[in-house]
Amino acid sequence: MKYDPGLYDYWPYENRPKIVWPGGKKVAFWVAPNIEFYELNPPANPQRKSWPRPYPDITPYSYRDHGNRVGHWRLMEMMDEFGVRGSISLSVAMCQHHPEIIEACAARKWEFFSHGIYNTRYIYGMDRDQEQAILTDSIKTVEAATGQRIRGYLAPALTHTEHTIDLLAENDFWYSCDLFQDDQPQPLKTKSSKKLVSMPYSLEVNDHYAFNVYGQSARQYADLLKRQFDTLLEEGVDSGTVMCIPLHAYLIGRAHRMGPFREVLDYITGHKQDVWVTTAAEIAEFYLANCYDDALTSINAAQKKAS
């Protein structure tokens, strides 16, 4: 085991090379609906139980199933209204279980990235080949269902191994949403010669944290998202920032939460001059082409200065 992840160098949030997003925009804004499938009776992973009670643990199972029956459709319609395309953190088995949802998203040109096969199959304890099999399955499954080559990853239920980030680079992924050390994209260190970007995703503004960890109301969540945006916009004048709203339709798509959330989308997309409403893959692509090398030079210089 390692004392630190060793995936990036320390890089202070001041005096970084200036990022200017396409069209001179200051904040790259993306929305990440987690479209997940949880199994009623998943096999046991030695390091993590899927459900707290003896199976079938129907309450947490059906609680999440609400998203695929009800919440997704509400959220998608609202995103349509504000011209926001989702970048979907996808349990790729959704392509088999609910192709109706996949087709609706693909028709809107939403981006898909892998969030594992099921959100009840954890990566903990997998060997390199097994973890590679998850990535191969993800790439093939989404390609077969949508024609899209996935470029991003968020480990299922945030379960990782020491190989995860290396494997992403080897498999021509452009970005990982697995690390939460920053509000700007940045290069990740991998054993591969291929470039991989760490994409800001933010657990702190994830609806799961807001509602079920911090116990916030729909209104409080809406307010915090607006404040998050205000700060990132202010800072984005100096160097472009990324704001992601990670969502779960089974949470945000509840009847009492859609109204306040609508105000958030209205507010953020209303800053037309300053906001690049985009997808994670588009941010990664732009960053790789325009910012990655400067960032690496700056990071290396910061390391030299430190040593």
Chain contacts with another protein (rule: CB under 8 A): 37, 39-41, 43, 45-46, 52-59, 62-66, 68-70, 73, 93, 96-100, 117-118, 121, 125-127, 129-130, 133-134, 211-212, 215, 217-220, 254-260
- Kindly state the smallest distance separating residue 231's Cβ from another protein, in Å: 24
Cβ-based nearer residue to another protein, 30 or 122:
122
- Kindly state the smallest distance separating residue 97's Cβ from another protein, in Å: 7
- Kindly state the smallest distance separating residue 31's Cβ from another protein, in Å: 19
- Kindly state the smallest distance separating residue 296's Cβ from another protein, in Å: 33
- Kindly state the smallest distance separating residue 95's Cβ from another protein, in Å: 9
DSSP string, 68-131: IIIIHHHHHHHHHHTTPPBEEEE-TTHHHH-HHHHHHHHHTT-EEEE--S-TTS--TT--HHHH
Q: How far apart are CA 129 and CA 17, in angstroms?
A: 38
Cβ-based nearer residue to another protein, 13 or 63:
63
- Kindly state the smallest distance separating residue 86's Cβ from another protein, in Å: 17
Rg (the chain; Cα; Å)? 19
Cβ-based nearer residue to another protein, 62 or 190:
62
Q: Among positive and negative, which fits the CA dihedral 196, 194, 110, 26? A: positive
- Kindly state the smallest distance separating residue 107's Cβ from another protein, in Å: 15
Cβ-based nearer residue to another protein, 185 or 253:
253
- Kindly state the smallest distance separating residue 182's Cβ from another protein, in Å: 30
Cβ-based nearer residue to another protein, 120 or 241:
120
What's the first-to-final CA gap in the chain, in angstroms?
25
Cβ-based nearer residue to another protein, 250 or 286:
250
Q: Among positive and negative, which fits the CA dihedral 147, 142, 268, 29? A: negative
* Burial class of residue 137 (count of CB atoms within 10 Å of its CB; 0-12, 13-18, 19+): middle
Q: How far apart are CA 240 and CA 298, in angstroms?
A: 16
Cβ-based nearer residue to another protein, 91 or 279:
91
Cβ-based nearer residue to another protein, 25 or 257:
257
Q: How far apart are CA 74 and CA 101, in angstroms?
A: 12
Give the residue carrying structure tokens 């992403």: 168
